[in-house]
Structures are given as structure tokens and as C-alpha cells.
């Protein structure tokens, strides 16, 4: 965990999506998640299917067509410091990959480990504290 859902408008190349994926994974590892903890999905929507205010909340410039809406599902009880660290590393890594920080929206959600399975019909293991 975390599970990243990246929503964007259609038209991105495979190379762009790979760069975004690599940046997200690098940010996750830098924020303290294990290297093999990689769960991402990409949703590409037609422009008419993704409506976002371009300036909310008082951004210094409007969002562009390259805007990313990233939902990050983490374990219940993930502390604010870890979320803040992950947010900062996400924005930094995505900027290094060519995405303007103004175009990065991130929303955290929490799920109890007993409400998820990573496969094999087993509930998710307890959160590692290292």
C-alpha cells in the first residue's frame, strides 16, 4: 500500500505514462514505502468526462490539459507527516518528469487493512513499522 489511481485526459503517450508511473513509484519509495510496494492504475478520460475548475483554490496560473488527479489509498491511521512527505515527494518527482506542480492534484483516502487483500484470498498483512 499505497494504491495510486491517476486520472488524466486522453492523449498522453505511452512514454509519458511510463514517466509518470516511474515518478510516482520513486516518490513512494522516497517517502518510505518498500520498493516492491507498487500498485498503480491509470484512467484516461475524454475531455468531456473530466471537469475540473482550472484555478481552484486560487492557483497562481490555470491548470493545463496535462493535469493529473491522483487518488492515494493508504492504510487507516497513516499519520499526517507520512502523507505530507509522500505529497512533497510526489510533486517533486512529477516535476522532474515534466509535470508542472500546478497540474498535480492529490487526494488521500484511508482503508482498514482488514478490508483489503493483495491476492491469494488473504487479508492484507499488518502495516510494517520500519
Domain ranges of the chain: 3-115
Region 3-115: CATH code: 3.30.429.10
Q: Residue 91 carries which DSSP code?
A: H
Q: What is the pLDDT of residue 115?
A: 83
Peptide linkage before 130 cis (omega within 30 of 0):
no
- Pairing relationship of beta strands 39-45 and 68-75 according to DSSP bridges: unpaired
Sign of CA dihedral 88, 90, 91, 95: positive
> In a 3-state reduction of DSSP, which class is residue 97?
coil
Joined together, the cell numbers standing for residue 112 give 482498514
Q: What is the pLDDT of residue 128?
A: 61
Q: Which residues contact 31 (CB under 8 A, 6 or more apart)?
A: 82, 85, 86, 89
- Pairing relationship of beta strands 3-9 and 68-75 according to DSSP bridges: antiparallel
CA torsion, ordered 78, 81, 83, 86, to nearest 10 deg:
-130
Q: What is the pLDDT of residue 129?
A: 53
pLDDT along the chain (130 residues), means of 10: 96 97 97 95 97 94 96 94 96 97 97 83 71
Joined together, the cell numbers standing for residue 103 give 497540474
CA distance 61 to 49: 22
Amino acid at each position: 500500500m499505497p494504491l495510486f489511481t491517476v486520472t488524466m485526459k486522453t492523449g498522453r503517450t505511452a512514454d509519458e505514462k511510463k514517466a509518470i508511473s516511474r515518478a510516482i513509484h520513486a516518490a513512494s519509495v522516497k517517502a518510505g514505502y518498500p520498493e516492491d510496494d507498487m500498485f498503480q492504475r491509470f484512467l484516461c478520460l475524454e475531455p468531456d468526462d473530466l471537469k475540473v475548475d482550472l484555478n481552484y483554490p486560487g492557483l497562481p496560473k490555470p491548470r493545463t490539459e496535462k493535469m493529473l488527479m491522483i487518488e492515494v489509498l493508504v492504510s487507516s491511521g497513516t499519520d499526517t507527516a507520512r502523507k505530507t512527505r509522500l505529497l512533497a515527494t510526489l510533486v517533486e518527482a512529477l516535476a522532474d518528469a515534466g509535470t508542472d506542480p500546478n497540474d498535480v492534484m492529490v487526494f488521500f483516502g484511508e482503508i482498514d487493512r482488514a478490508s483489503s487483500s493483495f491476492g491469494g484470498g488473504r487479508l492484507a498483512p499488518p502495516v510494517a513499522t520500519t
